[in-house]
Amino acid sequence: MDRTADPAAEAFNPWSVVNLVFHHLAANGLHPTLGTAGDPGAPAAELLRALGIEPAAEGDRQVSNNVRRQLADMRAAAFHGGPGDARGGPADAADGPDPHER
């Protein structure tokens, strides 16, 4: 099954894998070093692909989508009075008086 063709396919930053493995090795008393044996990003990306996850520099798409939704809700609450308001821009004259205007 090729999940990379699916726009909703899971994605993750390969450098996060490198960081996780590096810290895990160090926590177990080993002494990993970066740069002496080459770039670990490419093998980390291959590991993600082998696990059915698309390597992506922007990181986990699910996290970034959740952040976008949360920011949209915050904008809606700040400018229109409630989450889920899709207008997304500042209130205009049709929305009533500006509460910041005196």
pLDDT in tens, 39-71: 888 889 899 899 998 888 776 666 777 888 999
Same domain, 66 and 84: yes
Range list of H helices, the chain? 14-27, 41-50, 61-80
User: For the chain, how many structural domains are there in total?
Assistant: 2
Domain membership flag for residue 81: yes
Torsion of CA 34, 37, 38, 44, to 10 degrees: -70
63 and 69 Cβ atoms separated by less than 8 Å:
no
Q: What is the pLDDT of residue 1?
A: 44
Q: Is this model's pTM higher than 0.75 or not?
A: no
**Could you tell me the residue range of the domain that residue 17 belongs to?**
10-26+39-56
pLDDT in tens, 82-92: 555 555 445 44
* pLDDT exceeds 70 at position 26: yes
